Amino acid sequence: MKVLIIDDDSMMLRMASFIVKKAGHEALTAQSGEEGVALARSSRPDIVFIDVEMLVMDGFAAAEQIKSDDTLSGTRICMMSGTVTDEVVARAKQLGAVGVTGKPLNAGEIINIING
C-alpha cells in the first residue's frame, strides 16, 4: 500500500515513515500541506496521514484539498495531532477522515489504520 505522511516535524516524518516501511508499505513524505497536496496528486496514495497543526496550510485545509480532487476523493485520510480534542475529532469526521491518531505515534495504531 502507498502511504503519504504530511507533517512539518521532520522527526515525526522519520518515525512515521519507519513504522510504515517496517509494516511492508511504501512511505512518501511531505513537510508542508502544500507539498503534501501536490505529492498526493502526483502519487495517488492509498491513505494519507496529515498533521493537524502546520504553518501556512494546516492539516484540515490540506485534507479538504485532497478530498475535493476528483482523482483523490476515494483516498483515505487520517489526521494526526498532539492534542486530540473533541473538536479535532469532530472536524476530522466532517472531512470524512477514517480517524485521528495522537502524537507521539503508536506503531500498532498506525498499522491498524493502514490495514483498516
Q: Residue 82 and residue 75: Cα distance in Å, rounded?
A: 23
The residue behind cell 494526526 is 80
CATH number of 17's domain? 3.40.50.2300
| Rounded average pLDDT over 86-106 | 95
User: Mean pLDDT across the stretch 33-38?
Assistant: 98
pLDDT tens-digit series, residues 69-82: 999 989 999 999 99
Q: What percent of the chain has pLDDT over 90?
A: 97
pLDDT of res. 87: 95
Q: Could you read off the pLDDT of 45-60 as tens digits, one per residue?
A: 999 999 999 998 999 9
- Tally of domains in the chain: 1
Range(s) of the domain holding residue 64: 2-115
